[in-house]
């Protein structure tokens, strides 16, 4: 259940958009039936952890505010460790990464989780190469995501891997998402960050920046609007937002440029000018700094392929990479 209502899943939309109408079946596993959701809804799983995953393709671990209860469930941890060898890939949503960590699947790998839990993940699993601000991370056959909404980005990435970019793009349009947010993109929107400031003038200057991104947004100009010295303005801005004025302005401009690129074919030179960059080179450098791709690469990711893909074949399973732990993990540590 996603919040209070369930949007159409990428799985159900995939079934609609597959050219051969082959289903993408799912099964839900639990420690024991019934399963009770956070909102009180109860449902029966398809199987329990006494069952094997032989013949399955993908194992996804859901996160939950109550995940700590199951971190200390030895049978569940051992099941995840054992059954991961039977599937092609393993993923987690949000705090489900902790279960992967206890099962020994994140050792030496890059991973992420919800921003509010990254500190605890790093403390419990120091061998994990944590990427705390990213939306999702793929390291070999292991996938981890940030918060719940990042699961939609992961779902689209998996669909693209299995069935092609054309199918994934059509699903993204149905879900009113873009294909696809780079996995390394920050978990936070710069517009949400702007609402964090508590002091009225700083909050107001945030809004003015958002409405005037093509104007001169130097520290001196912004400070003059608040009748402050450049030094005091920069200090107050940093204290309120944990960002320098320059970092904030560049982030806002990159986000605005991203949206222009996603929504049309505006030439990049014009995008740069409208978003306040001095030239196309400055736009490119800012993109690489902020989201690790160039504007050209970003546009290619969003644009549908010119030649539609006529057929899709399921990728064969490759299990060798998942069978890396030579011995079962130690019993899980206490929370």
Task: List, for residues 225-255, the tens digit of each pLDDT value.
Answer: 999 999 999 999 998 888 899 999 998 899 8
Number of helical (H) and strand (E) elements in the chain, helices listed first? 15, 10
Residue 326: inside a domain, yes or no?
no
Residue 313: inside a domain, yes or no?
no
Residue 311: inside a domain, yes or no?
no
Rounded to whole angstroms, how far apart are CA atoms 121 and 333? 12
Rounded to whole angstroms, how far apart are CA atoms 123 and 274? 44
Pair 21, 159 in one domain: yes
Share of the chain above pLDDT 70, in %: 73
Pair 241, 135 in one domain: no
> Which of 73, 80, 82 has the alpha carbon at shortest distance from 97?
80
Q: How many domains does the chain fold into?
A: 2
Pair 204, 135 in one domain: no
Q: Strands 58-61 and 89-92, how do they pair?
A: parallel
Return the pLDDT at 15.
52
Reported as a pLDDT band with limits 50, 70 and 90, residue 151 is confident
Pair 146, 236 in one domain: no
Residue 315: inside a domain, yes or no?
no
Residue 48: inside a domain, yes or no?
yes
pLDDT digit string, tens, across residues 180-223: 455 555 544 444 444 445 567 887 888 788 888 899 999 999 99
What's 93's DSSP letter? -
Return the pLDDT at 302.
63
Pair 100, 222 in one domain: no
Residue 325: inside a domain, yes or no?
no
> Which structural domain range is residue 240 located in?
190-302
Residue 275: inside a domain, yes or no?
yes
Q: What is the DSSP string of 48-73?
A: ETTS--TT--EEEEPP-TTHHHHHT-
Pair 55, 100 in one domain: yes
Residue 108, phi then psi, degrees to nearest 5: 75, 5
Return the pLDDT at 216.
94
Could you say which of 158, 185, 212 is where a domain stops?
185
Pair 97, 171 in one domain: yes
Mean pLDDT computed over 266-272: 94
Pair 65, 113 in one domain: yes
Pair 35, 143 in one domain: yes
Pair 105, 203 in one domain: no
Pair 175, 199 in one domain: no
Pair 167, 34 in one domain: yes
Could you tell me the CATH number of the domain that includes residue 227? 1.10.10.60
- pTM assigned to the model: 0.55
Could you say which of 185, 219, 245 is where a domain stops?
185
Question: What are the beta bridge partners of residue 58?
Answer: 89
Residue 308: inside a domain, yes or no?
no
Could you tell me the CATH number of the domain that includes residue 119? 3.40.50.880
């Amino acid at each position: 259940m996603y919040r209070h209502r369930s949007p159409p899943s990428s799985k159900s939309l995939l079934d609609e958009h597959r050219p051969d109408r082959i289903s993408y079946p799912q099964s839900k596993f639990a420690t024991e039936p019934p399963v009770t959701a956070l909102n009180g809804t109860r449902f029966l799983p398809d199987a329990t952890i006494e069952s094997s995953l032989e013949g399955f393709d993908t194992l996804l671990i859901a996160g939950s505010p109550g995940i700590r209860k199951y971190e200390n469930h030895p049978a569940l941890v051992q099941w995840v460790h054992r059954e991961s060898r039977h599937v092609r890939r393993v993923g987690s949503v949000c705090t489900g990464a902790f279960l992967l960590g206890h099962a020994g699947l994140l050792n030496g790998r890059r991973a992420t989780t919800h921003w509010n839990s990254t500190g605890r993940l790093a403390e419990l699993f120091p061998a994990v190469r944590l990427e705390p601000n990213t939306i999702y991370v793929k390291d070999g056959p292991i996938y981890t995501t940030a918060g719940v909404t990042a699961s939609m980005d992961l779902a689209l990435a998996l669909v693209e891997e299995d069935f092609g970019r054309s199918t994934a793009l059509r699903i993204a349009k149905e879900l009113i998402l873009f294909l696809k947010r780079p996995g390394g993109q920050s978990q936070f929107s710069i517009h949400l960050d702007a609402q964090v400031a508590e002091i009225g003038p700083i909050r107001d200057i945030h809004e003015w920046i958002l409405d005037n991104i093509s104007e001169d947004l130097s520290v001196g100009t912004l400070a003059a609007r608040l009748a402050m010295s450049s030094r005091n303005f920069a200090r107050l801005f940093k204290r309120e937002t944990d960002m320098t004025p320059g970092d904030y302005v560049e982030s806002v401009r990159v986000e605005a440029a991203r949206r222009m690129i996603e929504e049309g074919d505006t030439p990049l030179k014009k995008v740069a000018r409208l978003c306040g960059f001095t030239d196309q080179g400055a736009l490119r450098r800012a993109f690489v700094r902020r989201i690790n791709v160039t504007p050209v690469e970003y546009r290619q990711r969003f644009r549908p392929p010119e030649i539609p893909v006529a057929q899709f074949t399921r990728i064969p399973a490759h299990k060798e990479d998942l069978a890396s732990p030579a011995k079962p993990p130690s019993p899980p540590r206490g929370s």
